Amino acid sequence: MNKKLIYKIPITIISQAESKLDEINGSLEPFFISLTPPERQILAKSGSESVAFLEMSQRFALEYPDLFPDFINESTFRTICFISRELREFSGKIDELRDLIHDTEMLASDTALDFALDYYRTVKMAALRDLPGARCIYDELKLRFPPRKQRKRKVS
């Protein structure tokens, strides 16, 4: 894979984005519901097949209102379906943004690690040559690379 260019995001842009995220979170917070892990476990998972079933059911309920059960409020059903669809679309946009952020962060971290390893190798060589200050830096950095255990060979 060819390395892609990574551009520094100006701090003003980061600050503006964080501020907008805080604003979005604040405006939606009264409508959010927080679930516990056990609550999440018992709820139905809405994959693509569930979503298709939900949309089909809603369409049929509108086309054939005489088949709609009396014990369910039709207006509530439509409202909940609408909320589900709107939040799914909104969540998809957030997922796209999260993926872009994650990919960029991953590439930046990989590139930074390459540079750090180059620095480490340079410091290691300097320490072997007893250059001033190199030994203490090398001793600190090498802690990141503990010695590997030798595998014992089986004697047959």
How many Cα atoms occupy the beta-carbon half-sphere of 141 within 13 Å?
18
pLDDT tens per residue across span 94-153: 999 999 999 999 999 999 999 999 999 999 999 999 999 999 999 999 999 887 777 766
Handedness of CA 37, 42, 47, 53 (dihedral sign): negative
Name residue, tokens 């690690």: 113
pTM for the model stands at 0.71
20-29, 68-77, 120-129: least confidently modelled range: 68-77
> Is 3 a residue whose pLDDT tops 80?
no
pLDDT number for residue 31: 93
